Amino acid sequence: MTDKIPVSIITGFLGAGKTTLVNHILTGNHGKKIAIIENEFGEVGVDDGLVVETKEEIFEMNNGCICCTVRGDLIRILGKLMKRKDKFDAILIETTGLADPAPVAQTFFVDDEIKEQMLLDAIITVVDCKHVGQHLDEEKPEGVENESVEQVAFADKILLNKTDLVSEEEKMALIGKIRGINAYCEIIETNHSKVDLDKILGVKAFDLGRVMEKEPEFLDVDGEHQHDNSVTSVGMEVEGEADMGKLNSWLSTLLREKGVDIFRSKGILAISGSEDKYVFQGVHMLMGMGSSAEGLGRPWKPEEKRVNKLVFIGRNLNREELNAGFKACLV
């Protein structure tokens, strides 16, 4: 019998550093051929523009959440990959920031064909040291999942990421909180998700017995879970070029005033007077702008239409206001 293909699930709340980790793995010197399955939350997908260009094959799944509506698609993609098993050494699945990793993990134990040919190697949870605390502490209505807690609870490896944004005391307090949810997993401190790949890939860390102890219904395929529907997204795709000054001022005011509710924002932007593609990244009130000239994202292709793509994810989002705000930045 040939070896089973190892599968790693990369999870973690919105903006934690999952795509940063995928890029770190793709550019790493591991000599492995990796297939990547990407699932993104939000009306408009921008991650395809944020993943580095490599020879690896990337499968996008953007029409729903990987732990619920598009699980069938996941099984189909895995089915396709199994037919070309000789072409891959490993598979990475990046879930949305609002996914429960358990139903995704379950896929590798309940489908006979998948079970025979693939091995769930590890659930790797990326944690944003600065922002995860508030999401872990959040009280949800009866029956509604706290996805952030689930992601920590099911982790085999936790990347304690963005250590640069917190003090030693804050970090230690967070480790205490994480240990209260998951006493066993290895916790690895990282900055920009930079981790020794030997510590997270091919580690055979997923332990079904331990999961069943914690969650006896793990293999129950009819199990239901309910997401927090108060978290929604507003996406836009707008042709044209934005004025950098106006854009910066709009985004910084918006996130300063609404960054408690806007968990995540990101965009691919065309800026007036520049040939470069700009990338905007926001996590709560923190924002950053970079360009393809600095190696972020990919440059505009000569024939490519200059379409700005933005997505905001959070609570109490005002679609009209966000649309009008961006349109006012166009030249």
Ligand X SMILES: Nc1nc2c(ncn2[C@@H]2O[C@H](COP(=O)(O)OP(=O)(O)OP(=O)(O)O)[C@@H](O)[C@H]2O)c(=O)[nH]1
Contact characters 84-123, ligand X, x per CB under 6 A: -------------x--------------------------
Smallest separation, CB 22 to ligand X (Å): 8
Among 12, 133, 259, 297, binds ligand X (CB under 6 A): 12
The continuous run of DSSP H or E covering 232 comes out as strand 232-239
Smallest separation, CB 56 to ligand X (Å): 17
Structure-token pair, residue 36: 């990547």
Smallest separation, CB 316 to ligand X (Å): 19
Structure-token pair, residue 157: 């490896």
Burial letters for 162-194: b for 16+ Cβ neighbours within 10 Å, e otherwise?
Answer: bbeebeeeebeebbeebeebbeebebbebbebe
* C-beta closer to ligand X: residue 191 or 274: 191
Q: Which residues pair with 277 in a beta bridge?
A: 270
- Map the footprint of ligand X across residues 251-280, applying CB under 6 A: 264
* C-beta closer to ligand X: residue 191 or 291: 191
Structure-token pair, residue 103: 């139903």
Among 7, 9, 16, 236, binds ligand X (CB under 6 A): 16
Smallest separation, CB 17 to ligand X (Å): 4
Say how far residue 93 (Cα) sits from the centre of its chain. 10
18 near ligand X, rule: CB under 6 A: yes
Spatial contact of 280 and 232, defined as CB atoms under 8 Å apart: no
Smallest separation, CB 106 to ligand X (Å): 22
Q: How far apart, in whole angstroms, are the C-alpha atoms of residue 26 and residue 224?
A: 34
Q: Which of 179, 147, 145 is nearest to 160 (CA)?
A: 179
* C-beta closer to ligand X: residue 105 or 129: 129
Among 8, 11, 20, 265, binds ligand X (CB under 6 A): 20
Q: Which of 191, 190, 113, 112 is nearest to 157 (CA)?
A: 190
Per CB under 6 A, which region of 17-25, 115-123, 140-148, 167-175 contacts ligand X?
A: 17-25
* C-beta closer to ligand X: residue 317 or 330: 317
Q: What's the DSSP call for residue 85?
A: G
Residues near ligand X, by CB under 6 A: 12, 14-20, 97, 126, 161-162, 164-165, 191-193, 264, 281, 283, 288
